[in-house]
A and B are shown apart, each in its own frame.
Chain A
Amino acid sequence: MERIPILRMGRFLLVTIQVDMHDRLALALQDDLTARIVRDGARGVLIDISSLVVDSFIGRMLATTASMARMLDAETVLVGMRPAVAITMVELGLALPGVRTALDVEKGMEMLRARVGPGAETAGHDSDP
């Protein structure tokens, strides 16, 4: 099964969800992310959801991922939510409690830096095998 790649940007991790995820892929991502946070000592996670349609299952998975990350001392920011998805989520009644959001990766990083401190950000890109 293919897995969603996780990129490292200094003390932060960046995940871009390009595909319509099926359940197992979503849960695999959760596992991989938590493992990487510990392995890399990451202080922040950016999840790019600009290609994603969020239903209640995915919404819950994103919220629990953020909770898990927080327990491991990393802040999560969701970026790139499209207006159509936001409108649908509001209509559905889906809120993402405790999950921060930003318009794009740049603003997301700003947000993380503000909360977590700059740290030494190198341009190292490790992706998961």
Chain B
Amino acid sequence: MIPTREVAELGRAEDILKVRQRARALALEAGFGLVDQTKIVTAVSELARNTVTHGGGGTATFELLEEGGRRGLRIAFHDEGPGIADVELALRDGYTTCGGLGLGLGGSRRLMTDFEIVTSPGKGTTVTIARWR
């Protein structure tokens, strides 16, 4: 498996679809089963949407990983938007600032094995998720 790293633009709603499809293709390449593929695609969809809607647009960076015989997929979502003031609150299910369902952050964390968020008001947001086989 060739180590891959690619960056996708997340500017408009249409980009969410492209990023979803890229996630599915890479998940397939990494050898994930159907359930894991679905979890990855869904988490990616949620976070991509956040980046476009809350972050004012940004990028999604895909990385195929291999460590000690295990394969994985990591995706980092980055935006230079307003940032999140209270991360704990944002992670809580149901909390939403724009009429969504508020499940995106917390949900993505539950769907993936690794979840990391770096954000502060005025400094943008980077959410990195990964799933290992």
Contact = CB atoms under 8 A, between A and B. Distances in A.
A–B contact via C-beta, under 8 angstroms: yes
A92 B111 contact: yes
A88 B38 contact: yes
A23 B107 contact: no
A59 B103 CA distance: 11
B114 to A, nearest CB: 15
A94 B110 CA distance: 12
Contacts of B103: 56, 92-94
Interface residues of B, number: 25
B21 A91 contact: no
Nearest to B46: A55
A20 B107 CA distance: 20
Contact of A88 (B13, B106, B111): B111
A56 B107 contact: yes
Contacts of A56: 46, 100-101, 103-104, 107
Contacts of A84: 34-35, 37-39
A60 B39 contact: no
Interface in A19-77: 20-24, 53-57, 59-60
Given A20-B20, A55-B46, A93 B38 contact: no
